[in-house]
Structure 1
Amino acid sequence: MAEFTDQGAAVLAHEDGLRIQRVVTSGTFELDGGSWDVDNNVWLIGDDREVAVVDPAHDAAPILDAVAGRTVVGIWCTHAHNDHITAAGDVREASGAPVFLHPEDRVLWDMTYDWQPDEALADGDELTVAGTSVRVIHTPGHAPGAVCFFVPALGAVLTGDTLFQGGPGATGRSYSDKPTLVASIREKLFTLPGDTVVLTGHGDSTTLAAEEVGLEDE
């Protein structure tokens, strides 16, 4: 498993040039009247020609620097908590790329933006970037429209705030539910290969096998 070092460095890569890169941005998460300082992982899936941006958070500038002139085929949102989407508008404007979001997260999206996402995500959708398929997995619980993006070619799943190193995401705020989240992880994510690398919305990576052991106590 690769170490996270330089901004925009490849975390996972295939010999044909397909890779996933990470950019870390900092800002605040705001919900239910509270505000918390957070660092967010922004993920770029692509090759030298085109890329998809996952969860553009806080600041568009370093994200666009990592895009490095490539065609952005889509801005894919794992969910619509403000800390994961606050740069979506600026990245959309700069790149012309459509924003993808599961419709059940519009209740959260509308707290940040007065315009609607361009495309609706649904469980089982197959998205394409750089000639590779990415499967959309609806995993409600942390948020009603939360999704994960499974990239079989790289053996990785991008989980947003659904699953972290150390367990499930938080469920103590509005529009979240712990039993729903745990069921999503068990029934949707743990059906994937155990050695699948989990690329999270905050913090370090893990694997599904490592987290399956910890979830036994949930």
Structure 2
Amino acid sequence: MSVRVSHGVTSGTFSLDGETFDVENNVWVVGDDRECLVIDAPHDVDSILEIVGDREVRAIVCTHAHDDHVRMAPALRERVGAPILLHPEDRPLWDLAHSDQQWDLDLADGQTLTVAGTALQVLHTPGHAPGAVCLYAPDLGCVFTGDTLFNGGPGATGRSYSDLSTLEASIRAKLFALPDETLVHTGHGDDTTIGTERMNATSTGPP
């Protein structure tokens, strides 16, 4: 029952600052045949549960609280009985999506989450959102970056609660400190590696 990373894509919308966009979100599930963590809960509970299968969900871990990443978190919690984990600095964004419900447990920088004997280290990486986190799994050689780092560079800024210089500093300090070969599983789009994104940043400027 080796630990594996399972992946799916769900489609829906992202809304902030009075604008709405069509988006496709990656869903990542980490675990073995018995238990797993779900990373983000976008758009469609049934699609997420297809990836989970008959495993026990130990936690729903939110990389940040933009509505396209947490919209289905309370509904998924109700279906599987697992707690929602979120960094508390993302409360303003969470309240925009779920003013009548709360998450269950706070995430903190340096915290370790364990599932199926595998550790995921919480890296607080503000910038795209104030409470954005990445989850580094050294045993699996990968990091789940949400919208902090994409294939091609940093996540978006310019909207409420985001800041480019803060995001670039987070990437330099927390993500570019990881080994070059670390596989980057993003919140949207294709995978990349830390080495590729570090090289791109070096050739084009910050971060």
TM-score tier after normalising by the smaller chain length? over 0.9
Cα distance in 2 for residues equivalent to 1:179 and 1:159: 17
Shift of 1:172: 1.2
1:63 maps to 2:48:
yes
1:96 maps to 2:81:
yes
Q: Deviations over 1:124-172 (max 9, x none)?
A: 0000111111100000000000000001111000000000000000001
Shift of 1:65: 1.5
Task: Look up the match of 1:202.
Answer: 188
Secondary structure of the 2:197 match is helix
Task: Look up the match of 1:161.
Answer: 147
Cα distance in 1 for residues equivalent to 2:51 and 2:63: 19
Cα distance in 2 for residues equivalent to 1:29 and 1:52: 23
Task: Look up the match of 2:13.
Answer: 28
1:203 counterpart letter in structure 2: G
The within-5 A match list for 1:31-180 is 31-113=16-98, 114-180=100-166
TM-score scaled to structure 1, two decimals? 0.92
Secondary structure of the 1:188 match is helix
Identity %: 60
2:57 counterpart letter in structure 1: V
Shift of 1:215: 1.6
The runs of 5 or more residues in structure 2 that have no matched partner are none
* 4+ residue segments displaced more than 4 Å: none
RMSD value over aligned CA atoms? 0.7
1:157 counterpart letter in structure 2: V
Secondary structure of the 2:96 match is coil
Q: Deviations over 1:159-200 (max 9, x none)?
A: 000000000000010000000000000011111111000000
Provide the aligned length of Structure 1 versus Structure 2.
203
Cα distance in 1 for residues equivalent to 2:7 and 2:66: 19
1:142 counterpart letter in structure 2: H
Cα distance in 1 for residues equivalent to 2:120 and 2:177: 16
2:5 counterpart letter in structure 1: I
Q: Deviations over 1:58-110 (max 9, x none)?
A: 00001111111111000000000000011111110000000000000011001
1:129 counterpart letter in structure 2: V
Secondary structure of the 1:111 match is helix
Question: More displaced, 61-70 or 38-47?
Answer: 61-70
The runs of 5 or more residues in structure 1 that have no matched partner are 1-15
